[in-house]
Amino acid sequence: MKKAVLFDLDGTILDFEKSEETALKKTFLRHGIPLTEEQVLLYKSINRKWWKMLAEKKVSKEEVVVARFEEFLGEIGSLLDPEEVAKEYLEFLSEEAYFLPGAEDFLKELKRNGFRMAAVTNGVRFVQERRSKKLGLERFFEFVLTSEEVGVEKPDPRIFWIALERMGLKKEDALYVGDDPASDLEGARNAGIDFVLFSPSGDVSREFPVVRNFEELREILRIL
């Protein structure tokens, strides 16, 4: 029986798609630029590429937060300063916090059932801290551990080991739930922690459990 569940935040507990799009549009509207849906999709594609490069240890997080806007601004032909846009975007993003459907009730249920919980995220520290506070995640999580705090990003196993050490648990006591195969799956594998992929689109793999919603995750927890 598992004693604890570690969660990724964005795309697993939090609706990052909604936060990202809202913050992005607000950022450019500040400069009098209403983004089209095609431009929003372009940014999201660029952003995913840069975060994948971070997981592959090809770039630093500091590079990611600016380089994604440098590339995007070039693609849309804007002369805005990418560093200034990156700073404004993160400020807006830190104010946009939404649970994925069913997430809050699921966390309440786990808490009632005695599960210990924490979050492990590669997200920018001040952004994640503000969003966590806005949603009251301290009601559920013992802590939100960011890669900036510990100096390594997922899939480096050390961030998971540090989380378990803080909780006084062994790796077999915990389950990790995340939505990103590059950082979450590989990170859990590297750390030797059981993993479940949260994938609303229903991507299926025979190598590890995949759930599309919190009802399916609830069933997984019942049999572990």
Q: How far apart are CA 94 and CA 194, in angstroms?
A: 30
Contacts of 50 (CB under 8 A, 6+ apart): 59, 64, 67, 68, 71
The four Cα atoms 161, 165, 169, 175 give a dihedral, to 10 degrees, of -30
- The catalytic site residues sit at 8
Residue whose structure tokens are 């503000």? 130
In the structure encoding, which two tokens stand for residue 85, read together?
């846009």
CA distances from 141 to 44, 63, 135, 201, 202 (A): 28, 29, 12, 26, 27
- The one-character DSSP state at 14 is B
96 burial level (CB within 10 Å; 0-12, 13-18, 19+) = buried
Which string of b and e fits 175-198 if b means at least 16 CB within 10 Å? Answer: bbbbbbbbbbbbbbbbbebbbbbb
**How big is the chain, counted in residues?**
224
90 burial level (CB within 10 Å; 0-12, 13-18, 19+) = middle
